Amino acid sequence: MHDHSVRELCNAYRKFAVTYYRKNGKPTRTVERIQMAIKYLRSIYGSTRVTDFGPLALRAIQNHLVKEKKGRKYINYLTAEIKRMFKWGVSRELVPAEVFQGLSTVGGLKKGRTEAHESQPIKPVPNEVVNATLPFLPPVIADMVLFSLLTACLPGEVCLRFSQVMCRSA
């Protein structure tokens, strides 16, 4: 029942992910990240039985990613993705529940407590650049940019608000 290799689990999860994580008929960026997590997992532990993959193995992957100079947040995302895959495997009876329980004890890398580098913060676009761009934008997009500036909404929130307004006016 649980005599699967990590490679077999990866293949099954990839097939699931490609059909599950879709938007407008196309795979989302989540699929790309899942595939990156699978790449690292398979390259190091592909032939390992799922029953033999535990917290120390997951930490070894984290350490491998640190040595490859990957960013802390990216490493944490891939770590979470690997744990999600094993959780999915438990729900399909491909992985014993105790394996996922063990993996769930592995935390993400903490800021300032790891050698993994921190990514540079994304800084706002200067107002002069925004103002110079506005005349070249379609009116609705220009309104959305101005709304964002005035309210400090994130782009997703702006889109949500504008779609709500557009639905009401239709």
Give pLDDT tens digits for 63-80: 999 999 999 999 999 999
Does residue 112 lie within any of the structural domains?
no
The verdict on 86 and 143 lying in the same domain is no
The verdict on 97 and 134 lying in the same domain is no
Per DSSP, what are the bridge partners of residue 5?
A: 49
Grouping H, G, I as helix, E, B as strand and the rest as coil, residue 41 is helix
Q: How many angstroms separate the CA atoms of 26 and 36, rounded?
A: 18
Does residue 115 lie within any of the structural domains?
no
Parent domain of 93 = 6-103
Does residue 61 lie within any of the structural domains?
yes
- Put simply, whether the predicted model's pTM sits higher than 0.85 gets the answer no
The verdict on 62 and 134 lying in the same domain is no
The verdict on 40 and 82 lying in the same domain is yes
The verdict on 85 and 38 lying in the same domain is yes
**Rg of the Cα trace of the chain?**
21
Q: Is the pLDDT of residue 92 over 70?
A: yes
- We report the CATH number of the domain holding residue 74 as 1.10.150
pLDDT band at residue 50, thresholds of 50, 70 and 90?
very high
Angle, alpha carbons 127-131-137 (nearest 5°): 130
Say how many domains are in the chain.
Answer: 2
Does residue 1 lie within any of the structural domains?
no
Does residue 24 lie within any of the structural domains?
yes
